[in-house]
């Protein structure tokens, strides 16, 4: 925020739909941040998922449902059937770990609590795709 000249500049960028690369560890404009991250071997970009477009949760859910033989409605119903729970956990891993969604976003989409998403992620286990 300081690098851009204050809150009003940030809001002006948002209204125009422009995005600046940023990292709270680096003070500077977007070009400077990109240069520093490039020097770090691209590790920062990978960790921050800069420039990646998110695949929709609906698309991810369709893939997971097909793999598990579960209906999308059942996946979002809160069912406790074992195959549905496994599909939900796989969708959570895929969305959060690979596509940058927050646990809260996935929980809202699935209609479950945040802990239903974050608990299996913290326990590890198999990773889909």
> Within this chain, do residues 66 and 115 fall inside the same structural domain, yes or no?
yes
Q: Print burial letters for 5-40: b (CB count within 10 Å at least 16), e (below 16).
A: eeeeebeeeeeeeeeebbbeebeeebeebbeebeee
62 and 116 part of one domain = yes
Identify whether 23 is part of a domain: yes
Which tens digit of pLDDT belongs to each residue from 61-112? 999 999 999 999 999 998 889 999 999 999 999 998 888 888 999 999 999 9
**pLDDT above 50 for 128:** no
Same domain, 44 and 95: no
**Same domain, yes or no, for 63 and 115?**
yes
Domain that holds residue 34: 7-48
- Residue 129 in any domain: the answer is no
The count of domains in the chain is: 2
Is the pLDDT score of 41 beyond 80?
Answer: no
Whether 44 and 62 map to the same domain: the answer is no
43 and 15, same structural domain? yes
Note whether 75 and 61 are within 8 A (CB): yes
Are residues 43 and 65 both part of a single domain? no
Specify burial of residue 82 (Cβ count, 10 A radius: 0-12, 13-18, 19+): exposed
């Amino acid at each position: 925020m300081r690098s851009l000249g204050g809150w009003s500049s940030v809001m002006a960028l948002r209204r125009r739909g422009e995005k600046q690369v940023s990292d709270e560890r680096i003070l500077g404009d977007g070009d400077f941040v990109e240069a520093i991250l490039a020097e770090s071997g691209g590790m920062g970009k990978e960790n921050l998922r800069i420039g990646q477009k998110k695949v929709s949760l609906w698309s991810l859910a369709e893939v997971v449902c097909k793999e598990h033989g579960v209906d999308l409605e059942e996946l979002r119903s809160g069912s406790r059937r074992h195959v549905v729970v496994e599909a939900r956990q796989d969708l959570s891993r895929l969305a959060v770990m690979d596509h940058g969604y927050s646990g809260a976003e996935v929980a809202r989409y699935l209609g479950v609590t945040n802990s239903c998403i974050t608990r299996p992620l913290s326990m590890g286990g198999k990773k889909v795709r």
